[in-house]
Amino acid sequence: MAKIISEEEAEKLLSSIKIPPRPTVIVELNKEKNKAEPDLRRIAQIVSKDIALTASLLKAVNSPFFGLPNKVDNVQQAAMTMGFNNVISLVTGIAIKSAVGSKNLKLERFWDIADKVANVAAYISEIIPGVCKEQAYMFGLFHDCGIPLMLQKFPDYVETLKKANGVSRLDVIRLEDEIHSTNHATLGYLLAKSWSLPHSLCHALLNHHDISILHSDDDYSAETRSLVAINRFAEYLCDIRQMRDDHDWNETGPIVMAYLGVTDDEFMDIKEAVFQYQDVSL
């Protein structure tokens, strides 16, 4: 069953967990975005002040999965080509790395996988309507952001991850709840909520392990459901491309494909397109 967090539960969890504050660059970008007439040059200036962020943004927008006709060389060009809303979405997704400890070498593989899922999700979203590619990309990076937070709070969480190998996606959440009285989906939701990210993305983070959200009667937006479905499809493609087991795709895959309206032929076409790229990491 899809999950909803009450305000009381959220406040209780926030009091016990160190949620990183929203980066200054995101605050400044949203302040400019909310003006009557946002200035693209000002947006470019804000992002360009952070060299590492600028490099990651340009690498993202020039990824083959975004399919831009010409290479983008600077932030202002990216904003003009993609629109400032989309650039802000991409920057927000990228900023999560530094916010939750991307310099930790133990998280290198985690972020590598997140990068790949984000790229593939962006590609899928161009083929399947429901979510813009920048939102799909941001969610791809964000979807498991609660895992680094769990690692920071619980010293024995590594052992929990080992126990989670081989169980279904929903059982991962149940296992974390049983051992730690919370889970990475909930912490990801709290992080997104504290950063004032869109409600659709927050709710998708909370329920991204629960495919029942695609056909539940709960009051979730179509974008929330589509984010979950597209990201699940992207995770599966990344898993099989890297020859990793996806333990419950046989059960959840048909539900995801039916929700997205993907036929068997379309599935094979998307799979082939994803597999043809040798490097999808950012």
**65 touches 119 (CB < 8 A):** yes
The CA distance from 180 to 45, in Å, is 43
* 56 lies in the same domain as 6: no
Find the domain containing 28 and state its range: 22-99
Predicted pLDDT of residue 280: 44
* 43 lies in the same domain as 113: no
Predicted pLDDT of residue 104: 58
Predicted pLDDT of residue 14: 56
* 130 lies in the same domain as 269: yes
Closest CA to 140 of 60, 262, 232, 67: 232
Predicted pLDDT of residue 278: 47
* 110 lies in the same domain as 221: yes
Q: Which of 59, 77, 99 is the last residue of a domain?
A: 99
* 176 lies in the same domain as 45: no
* 242 lies in the same domain as 256: yes
List the pLDDT tens digit at each of the 282 positions of the chain.
456 666 666 556 655 667 788 888 888 988 888 888 888 889 889 999 988 889 988 988 888 877 788 899 998 888 888 888 888 888 888 888 777 765 555 677 788 888 889 989 999 998 998 888 888 988 998 899 999 999 888 989 999 998 988 788 889 999 999 999 899 999 999 999 888 888 999 999 999 999 999 998 778 999 999 999 999 999 999 988 887 777 789 899 999 999 999 999 999 999 998 888 744 443
Q: Which of 74, 99, 124 is the last residue of a domain?
A: 99
**256 touches 102 (CB < 8 A):** no
Q: In CATH, what number is assigned to the domain containing residue 189?
A: 1.10.3210.10
* 77 lies in the same domain as 140: no
* 193 lies in the same domain as 282: yes
* 92 lies in the same domain as 204: no
The CA distance from 125 to 254, in Å, is 18
| Domains of the chain: total | 2
The CA distance from 80 to 74, in Å, is 10
* 188 lies in the same domain as 205: yes
* 139 lies in the same domain as 60: no
Q: Which of 70, 99, 128 is the last residue of a domain?
A: 99
* 201 lies in the same domain as 254: yes
Burial level of 249, CB count in 10 A (0-12/13-18/19+)?
Answer: middle
Closest CA to 130 of 200, 33, 43: 200
